A and B are shown apart, each in its own frame.
Chain A
Amino acid sequence: MTSLPKDTPRKLGLVIDLDTCVGCQACVIACKGWNTENYGAPLSDQDPYGADPSGTFLNRVHGYEITPDQGAAQLVHFPKSCLHCEDAPCVTVCPTGASYKRAEDGIVLVNETDCIGCGLCAWACPYGAREMDQTAGVMKKCTLCIDRIYNENLPEQDREPACVRTCPAGARHFGDLADPDSAVSQLVAERGGFDLMPEMGTKPVNKYLPPRPKDRLEETDILAPFLDPVADSPQGFLGWLDRALDRL
C-alpha cells in the first residue's frame, strides 16, 4: 500500500560519519555483493568490461571539496544510499503499491513482483537513491539489508547491514533513530547530525555527521623565524662565484 504509515514505532536507519569516511568504496562493493547474491533481482552490470560500463548500485560514494575563504581546501567522502524518509515521496507516487514503507520499522522497500518499472519513484526521490535495473526492468533500492538485520541464521555480529559491517573506518552506524537512548541517536545528538536537503520536507531517517574542523600544521621550530632565507640571487662575492661557476 502506498499510503505512508502515520508514525512508525521504530525508525531504523544509518548514521554516516563524514569525518571518518576514507572513501575506500568498501561499502559500495559489500552492498553490491550482498544484494546481488541474496534477496531480489541481482544488481546487473551493462558492458562491465567494455568501453562504456555502467551498472546498478544501491550505495555510491561521492567526493566533495570545501574551499574556505582562507586556508587549504578539504576533501569530504560522501556515501549516499536510501535515507528511508519518513515522508517518502517515492512511495506515494507508485501506482502499483510495489513501493511501501513498513509500519513496524520504517524501512522503505520495493516488492519486485508488483513493480511495472515505470520509474516514477526514481523521479520522485530527490536523492538519487533508486535505480532501475536495466536487466530485470524493476526498481532497486537499499533494503537496509532487511535480510541480514532480522536473519537468525547469521551470527549475532553479522545482523547489521553489509555496508556497516564492512566499513573499515567505522564510518557507518546502524540503529533505531526513534529511540533517543540508542547509540545512533546519541551520536547524532553529540555530533550535530543533520538531514540532506531538509527543505524538501522528506524528513530522512538517515543522518549525516559533519566533518570536524581539521588541525592546522603550526610552526614547530621556535628559531626558524630568526633565520634569514637564502637569497635567491646572490650578491657580492657569492654572486661572483655563482656567475663564475655558471661560465665553467
Chain B
Amino acid sequence: MHPAPSVILFTTLSGLGFGLLIFLGLGFPPVTGWVAFVFFLIAYALSVGGLLASTFHLGHPERALKAFSQWRTSWLSREAWAAVAALVTMGLYALGAVFFGTHLVPLGWIGAALSLATIFTTSMIYTQLGSVPRWNQLLTPLHFLSAALAGGALLAGQLLVAAILLLVALMIQLGHWSVGDKRFAEAGHTIATATGLSGGQVRAFSPPHTGSNYLLREMVHVVGRKHARKLRILAALLGYGLPLVLVLVPGAGHLLGGLAILAHVVGMAASRWLFFAEAEHVVGLYYGKRG
C-alpha cells in the first residue's frame, strides 16, 4: 500500500494523543489547574491534529459529516463517532480539572474507555480488509492498542507503567511483523486463484495500459521495500528499546523523559511507514506484482 504521509501522521499522532487521554481520564497523573491545561493541550493537539491530517487525503473533505451515518456497518464511521464522543467527554472532564480543580471520576473513566475504543476502531479499519492479508490478523488491533497505551504512558510520565507497556508493545510489534510476513502465502491468494486460469504456469504477460493508474499508485507500492529490514531495526530500537532504557534510568528527569518521547515518536513513524509500505494488496496479483 502507498505510505501516504497524511495517514502515517494520523495513525502515529492520534494514537499518542488518545493514549495520553486514556491516562489522564484514569487520573494518572492527577493534575489540575495550569499543569492539567498543558497536559490536555498536548493530548488534544495530537489527537485532533492527527484527525485533521487524515482529512487531507479525502477527495471531498467538505462532506466529511456524512461519514457519521453508517456506524452499523462501517468501521470508519464508527471511528468518527468514537473519536468525537471521546473528545467531547474528555473535554468536559478537562474543564473540571483545569478550571474547577475537580476530577469527575466517572466521566474520566468513560472518556478513557471511549479513547481506547477510538484506537480500536482505527485499527479495525485496517484489520477488516481481507484484500490486504498482512493487516488481516489478530495482532493488528493489539499492535495499535499497545503502541498507543505505551506512548500515552510515556507522555503521562508514568514511567514504570510505560516500561512494562513498551516491553509488551515491542513483543506485539515483533509478532505482527513475523506473522504478517507469512499471511499472504497462508491466505492462499495466487495469480492462479486471481485469474482462475489453469493448465500450466500463469504469468502476467501484458498490462492493460502503458502508463500507471490509480490502483498501481495506491495499492501496489514496491519502492523502498529493500530497506525494510533496516527500518524494522530502527523502529524497534527507537520506538521501543531506547525509551524503555531511558525511563528505567534511576531519577530520570524531564530531559531523559523528553528524549524517550522523541525517540518513541520517530520509531513509531518508521513502524507505521512499514505498516503501509510492506502491506501487499491482492490486486497486485493481476499486475504480476505482489504488492
Contacts and interface: CB of A to CB of B under 8 A. Distances in A.
Given A67-B201, A68-B200, A116 B213 contact: no
B67 to A, nearest CB: 4
A114 B214 CA distance: 21
Chain A residues touching B, majority SS: loop
Contacts of B68: 95
A124 to B, nearest CB: 6
B224 interface: no
A61 B210 CA distance: 12
A97 B76 contact: no
Given A80-B286, A95-B74, A122 B200 contact: no
A123 B219 contact: yes
A30 interface: no
Contacts of A137: 58-60
B136 to A, nearest CB: 11
A75 interface: yes
A116 B59 contact: yes
A127 B77 CA distance: 24
A64 B73 contact: no
Interface stretch (B87-95, B102-110, B191-199): B191-199
Interface residues of B, number: 60
A62 B207 contact: yes
Contacts of B73: 2-3, 91-94
Interface stretch (A148-156, A164-172, A198-206, A232-240): A198-206
Interface residues of A, number: 69
A128 B283 contact: yes
A132 B214 contact: yes
B70 A2 contact: yes
Contact of A117 (B58, B125, B204, B287): B58
A138 B205 contact: no
A229 interface: no
Contacts of B287: 62
A70 B209 CA distance: 31
A56 B193 CA distance: 26
Given A64-B197, A78-B195, A96 B69 contact: yes
Contact of A69 (B63, B75, B77, B200): B200
A95 B70 contact: yes
Nearest to B68: A95
B254 interface: no
A207 to B, nearest CB: 10
Contact of A96 (B57, B70, B209, B286): B70
Interface string B65-88: 011111011111100100000000
Interface string B208-222: 111111110011000
A18 B195 CA distance: 10
A95 B189 contact: no
A146 interface: no
Interface stretch (A47-55, A174-182, A215-223): A47-55
Contacts of B200: 66-69, 73-74
From A93, A97, A116, A117, residue with most partner B Cβ within 10 Å: A116
B130 A92 contact: no
A183 interface: no
The 10 closest A-B pairs by CB, nearest first: A117-B59, A137-B59, A63-B206, A60-B208, A68-B200, A128-B283, A95-B77, A95-B76, A95-B67, A96-B66
28 contacts: A3-B72, A53-B210, A53-B211, A54-B213, A57-B213, A62-B204, A62-B207, A63-B206, A64-B204, A64-B205, A67-B201, A73-B200, A74-B199, A76-B197, A89-B129, A95-B74, A96-B63, A114-B66, A115-B63, A116-B67, A122-B215, A123-B281, A127-B286, A131-B215, A137-B60, A199-B187, A199-B188, A208-B196
Interface of A: 1-3, 18, 28, 52-57, 60-69, 73-76, 78, 80, 89, 91-98, 114-120, 122-128, 131-132, 134, 136-139, 194-201, 208, 210-211, 213
